[in-house]
Structure 1
Amino acid sequence: MANAPVLAPAKVNLFLHVGPVDTDGYHPLASLVAFADVGDRISVVPSERLSLTVTGPFAKGLSGEGDNLVMRAVRSLAEAAAL
């Protein structure tokens, strides 16, 4: 399988209103967002083990694997799919 990088565009929140807690215990949200022409490039390649490599000028300040939001999402997806 070839590595096919895709752009994950940056999102700018122009407006966000969080309402009071409803009867289900959730806050209703109203927001307006815009997507930029810049963002992160994400690539997925087959592997025996789940890993994440962060590159770029700000990579040093970012978490690679531990509590990274991308890794948390992938782990949740794998768990839900029983992988």
Structure 2
Amino acid sequence: LTDFTVFPSTENEYAAGTGIYYPNGTSDMGYPFLGIYSRSDMNLISLVYYDISYPGSDVPRNSVGLRIKYSEKAEAFYISGL
């Protein structure tokens, strides 16, 4: 994991984290992921991988770090990466 957030409400049973997955080691492509975890035991419930694409390029790019923030007002996650 590169960053982790817990929903602000004590009624919510989930937490979320972002990270980078390197299927062939850190010298190859890294794929950002968003994971949803059980707040009580931190077991992974859902995992989604992404390709980072830059304007004008059809080739996915490597990623080295991600940050995550949860907006209670928008009820949404905001993820930034590089």
User: Which bracket does the TM-score occupy, shorter chain normalised?
Assistant: under 0.3
Normalising by structure 2, report the TM-score: 0.26
Q: Identify, as 1 or 2, the structure richer in helix.
A: 1
Q: Which is greater in Rg?
A: 1
Normalising by structure 1, report the TM-score: 0.26
Q: Identify, as 1 or 2, the structure richer in strand.
A: 2
